[in-house]
Amino acid sequence: MGDNVWQRFFDGFAPQYEDEMFTKGTAAEVAFLVDLLDLPSGARILDVGCGTGRHSVALAARGYRMTGLDISAGMLAEARAAAEAAGFDVELLQADATDFSLPRAFEAAICLCEGAFTLIGEGDPVEHDLAILANVREAIAPGAPFVLTASNAMRLIREATHEQVAAGVFDPMTQSQSCDMEWKDADGPHSLAARERGYVPTELALLLRHVGFAVEHVWGGTAGNWGRRPVDLDEYEIMVVARRPREDAPEPRRREEGA
């Protein structure tokens, strides 16, 4: 899986992750997803960048068969403990979202709250994102929906200063900003320099279309405040609801005449 700064950060930050305010809206987010996805009980859902499994465990409690995928062993350990404590089976897999293959025909996929998307590394950010989207598309069944929330670049751009651009803190070419990611453990405080990328709505739609998704909705997607409403310029995240087109399905075999 190579050296991934976000993996190192989340391995260390995992025990503290659910103290963050943005994780407190899980129940409302899951209610929104259940209504939006409208899937039968037992449907299989892939949660990309599942983190501590807060959506996966709550969706398992609603009767869905959940698979959570994440690069961080620390976050997956928290997810495993949460699933066990709640008494639900959640399949948890350690993998890089840019480099996985799970051709299982999931009935839906979710990638929420910057689960892998947005969290870029040293390489080409567009290749990073296209790889994730292509892997998700291959993992879900034709006709299956995909719900993605990713950082809103309009907010980043409105807040960025010329000084930050000159200092390389904000890069307008990739709409990314540098951030010092901090956490504490028994050894004391730690800090890692990382980069986070934002997206404008048209760009997200085009990225998804580029790998063969049909884009159905682009809505405001800030954690704890999801809704079927337009994106606000200053909110943290954008939600895209897309679908792998049905015409991806293999041609149905026709019955031989007289058979």
Ligand X SMILES: C[S@@+](CC[C@H](N)C(=O)[O-])C[C@H]1O[C@@H](n2cnc3c(N)ncnc32)[C@H](O)[C@@H]1O
Does 70 sit near ligand X (CB under 6 A)? yes
End-to-end CA separation in angstroms for the chain: 51
130-169: b (≥16 Cβ within 10 Å) or e: bbbbebbbbbbbeebbbbbbbbbbbbbeeebeeebeeeee
30, 33, 113, 218: which one binds ligand X (CB under 6 A): 113
Does 108 sit near ligand X (CB under 6 A)? no
Q: In the window 228-257, what residues touch ligand X (CB under 6 A)?
A: none
Does 10 sit near ligand X (CB under 6 A)? yes
| Least distance (Å) between residue 62 CB and ligand X | 16
C-alpha torsion 67→50→108→245, nearest 10: -120
Rounded Cα–Cα distance for residues 132 and 149 (Å): 13
| Least distance (Å) between residue 60 CB and ligand X | 15
How far, in Å, are 32, 121, 129, 178, 202 from residue 174 at the CA level? 31, 12, 12, 11, 15
Does 50 sit near ligand X (CB under 6 A)? yes
Site string for ligand X, 150-169 (x = CB under 6 A): --------------------
Does 98 sit near ligand X (CB under 6 A)? yes
Does 79 sit near ligand X (CB under 6 A)? no
- Residue 110: Cβ within 10 Å count: 27
In this chain, which stretch among 43-51, 57-65, 229-237, 250-258 interacts with ligand X, using CB under 6 A?
Answer: 43-51
Binding site for ligand X (CB under 6 A): 6, 10, 23, 49-51, 54-55, 70-72, 75, 96-98, 112-116, 119
